[in-house]
A and B are shown apart, each in its own frame.
Chain A
Amino acid sequence: MTLSLRSFMRHEAVLGILLVLVLFVLAQQSDKFFTTANILNQGRLMTEIGLIALPMTFVIITGGIDLSVGSILGLCAILLGVFWQNLGLPLPAAMALAVCVGALAGLVNGLIITRFKVPPLIATLATLALYRGLAEGISQARSVRGYPEWFFVLGQGEVLGVPTQLWILIVFAIGAAAILGLTTFGRATYAVGANETAARFSGINVDRTKLLIYTASGLVSGIAAVIFVSRVSTTRSDMGTGVELDVITAVVLGGTSIFGGRGTIIGTVIGLILVQALKNGLALSGVKGDGTIVVIGVVLIFAILASNLFSRNGDG
């Protein structure tokens, strides 16, 4: 076993132990915590964030960041309603179109970043405002309701006793893990993040890689938007506000280096479960909803702190 692989394992092992510990403590706090109903419900609640965290893992591995995912989610949600209700499109077409808009929004991010060389942080900060602004402008604070019954299967239904969207998340997570871990594209992603110049000098198409990743980030945010709307039965322009924070926390907590070049999907999934368990556990033990955001903020800072010390040791 080599050093790099060992340190990888060490990080995920630490995370795993932390997760078990947290689950144990939270289970002591409330006997509702470890019930099948609660666990499945938590799975339902974390699907949107979980989905977006998958491409975000790729984004952060390339050394970038995408702050606009929450706004893309909001924009797609609004457009889903507008396409269906105002333009009178059939709902499946509206869903597909909304997802396409998400992909387009991600593509725009990618183009700004690769063609104009704008740092991802600033580019997506600008589009965070722009996409949310478009959502607000288009919706004019009106919400869309009254979706047909079949549509709620996606966000509120169950398949084989498990929430529908959890199946989607599982399929996507496996797909993302396979792409990142096994394919040439995954290799390119790591190489771009660890040393962009060397990747380019090795014949890897750096711009194409980034473009695809940011587009995927937008696309998945669009899918998350559809699921979100189906789960809460309504669309509002402020949907997905602050989602970027939860997503980045999960990814970084999962061991993906904010400086790029390192990270795994499995880590992200563990990070995701940890965050959701904390939220749920705290809520069950009586902490009010907003108090849990505080915990996420603290956890985010400490996660980076740890991974910072970790990577510095690793480079020795």
Chain B
Amino acid sequence: MTDTGRTAKPMTATPASSAETAPPLVELRNTSKTFSGIKVLKNVGFDVRPGEVHALLGENGAGKSTLIKILSGFHTPDEGGEIRVNGRPVSFSSPRDARKAGIATVYQELLLFPDMTVAENIFIGHAPRAGMGALDWNEMRRRARALLDDLDSHDLDVDARVGGLSVANRQRVEIAKALSQDARLLIMDEPTASLADADVRRLLDVVRRLRERGVAIIYISHRMPEIFALADRVTVLRDGALIGTKDIEEVDDASLVSMMVGRSIDQLFPKVVVPIGAPVLELRKVSFKDEVQDISLTLRAGEILGIAGLVGSGRTELALTIFGITPATSGEILLNGRPVTIRSPQQARDLGIAYVPEDRGLQGLVKPQTIRENVSMALLDRISKGSIVDRVKESALARDAIARFGIRARGPEQRAGQLSGGNQQKVVLAKWVSTNPKVLIMDEPTRGIDVGAKSEIHALMCKLAGEGLAVIMISSELPEVLGMSDRIMVMNGGRMVRTFDRSEATPDVVGAAMTHAGASHAGGAA
């Protein structure tokens, strides 16, 4: 009934000749964007031709999302830049304007209405009308059906509540929504980040089908095989600047990585090798529902264990399980050789486990509060007598943290929300290091912070490991994982697929394990 049996076609790029002669459908010229004084996009030129898949690559914080938000009308570019559609200059003051110009975006966090049906979600805002301007529900359902059939989604019910659909199906609804508005350019932001393999194959088929119909596609993904399977051209951004736009034939894995990273890995990460001590944390077949499955590992004092994997591979879920946010549903956790139960973050903290979370603004910091209040938050019980907080000790703690972690702030009473990203991250790190943990889990420790602060965080991490802390580092940036870790564990689909020693880990083998790993490698153990 469905076409999941159909295999992906051999990966040949479409003939480039026609694409080269066609005029650009959408073009950005000399486009910059400044947020509160910081230039996050610097004089970028970029164009998309009809019927091409244009891959957009770059590390986190390279400016990809800013660029697509300019194209989809969320941000207006700084003075001096220009957007052209079919050669004519345009200006978008709202997402609506961009959609009228034929530009539609499928975001990572899908913008759907959970309580409405599939058909209504597709046509919200531009529903077909019958007499007297009344909505024509039958026509709406009929057209939704046709659009979904077009996307090879015969199994998707147009009357189903969107809230009850899988991520893959919701994504199809979003794509159908874009097509229902005659989008000529479809921007897809990491569409495969949270999809299972079978769904990824179907999505790639859909993208090819759209290209055949002449729809232009900007495709953002970290998965190299997809890019080589789909893209006609590829553009790389780094630190907000355009590094280059190339035909896909001109590049390979290695050259793309070096365009994205721009420096050699050794230069970037001055890893200090420290003696590795006794085992601190041991996991034995730890699972949480089907998000984390049968993870076994041993973490030693002084060791930095890097966990690599794509978004949705179970990395963060594993951290949340160890930290007690989503307590393990089966398996055993040992700390210093003794079995422990961790049912809440409080227990994890009291056992000496610290977690510097992925989402700094939401999970890490209380932005309206001061540095002092943030730093002391996880150890209030220890600096209080009879539950009265000792303000003197607390202030001393905050001043220590500012000095020790090099936090650039006016003082302990400055609000955390006023600091730069890097300094905010140092505050979160200081909060957890102050608890004197034995195990420190850092989830995306340098996401979205500038290069200088990045290396400071890395240096701090090395120093902490040198002091005997056992560190788990989760990162989407392969160079960071390779540069910082003593050992690397690769996750995929909630399982550990492979582990590498520092010496044997290269971008190629780790990257391959992250992206290709399927059933064949499953079941590795540390």
Contact = CB atoms under 8 A, between A and B. Distances in A.
Interface of A: 2-5, 182-188, 190-191, 194-195, 197-205, 261-262, 314-315
B377 A315 contact: no
B345 interface: yes
B368 A200 contact: no
B368 A262 contact: yes
Interface string B370-382: 1001001110110
Contact of A261 (B325, B368, B380): B368
Given A186-B389, A198-B364, 12 more contacts: A2-B410, A3-B415, A190-B373, A191-B366, A198-B363, A198-B366, A198-B377, A201-B363, A203-B349, A262-B368, A315-B368, A315-B417
Nearest to B391: A182
A4 B384 CA distance: 23
A111 B373 CA distance: 28
B387 A185 contact: yes
A314 B346 CA distance: 32
B369 interface: yes
Interface of B: 323, 325, 344-346, 348-350, 355, 357, 362-370, 373, 376-378, 380-381, 384, 387-389, 410-411, 413-415, 417-418, 431
Contacts of A198: 362-366, 377
Most buried by B among A2, A183, A184, A202: A202
Given A184-B387, A187-B389, A200 B345 contact: yes
Given A183-B389, A200-B325, A202-B345, A2 B368 contact: no
B345 A195 contact: no
Instruction: Identify whether the interface residues of A are mostly helix, strand, loop, or mixed.
Output: helix
B381 A184 contact: yes
A205 B377 CA distance: 12
B378 A203 contact: yes
Contacts of B348: 203
For the complex of A and B, list the 9 residue pairs with the smallest distance between their C-beta atoms, beginning with the closest. Answer: A2-B413, A203-B349, A184-B380, A202-B377, A195-B366, A201-B363, A194-B366, A202-B378, A203-B345
Given A182-B389, A197-B363, A315-B368, A202 B415 contact: no
A308 to B, nearest CB: 15
Contacts of A261: 366, 368-369
Contact of A201 (B325, B368, B369, B414): B325
A197 B365 CA distance: 9
Contacts of B418: 3
A52 B388 CA distance: 24
B388 A201 contact: no
Contacts of A188: 380
B352 to A, nearest CB: 12
A316 to B, nearest CB: 8
Contacts of B369: 190-191, 194, 261
Contacts of B411: 2
Nearest to A260: B368
Nearest to A207: B344
A271 to B, nearest CB: 21
Nearest to B413: A2
B384 A183 contact: yes
8 contacts: A2-B413, A184-B387, A187-B373, A194-B368, A198-B363, A201-B323, A202-B377, A315-B417
A198 B344 CA distance: 14
A36 to B, nearest CB: 36
A194 B364 CA distance: 12
A201 B355 contact: yes
A197 B362 CA distance: 6
Nearest to A198: B366
Given A2-B413, A187-B373, A203-B346, A182 B366 contact: no
Contacts of A195: 362, 365-368
Contacts of B410: 2
Contact of B387 (A4, A183, A315): A183
Nearest to A184: B380
Contacts of A314: 368
A185 B346 CA distance: 14
Nearest to A208: B346
Nearest to A191: B366
B363 A205 contact: no
Nearest to A1: B413
Given A191-B369, A194-B367, A198-B363, A205 B346 contact: yes
B447 to A, nearest CB: 16
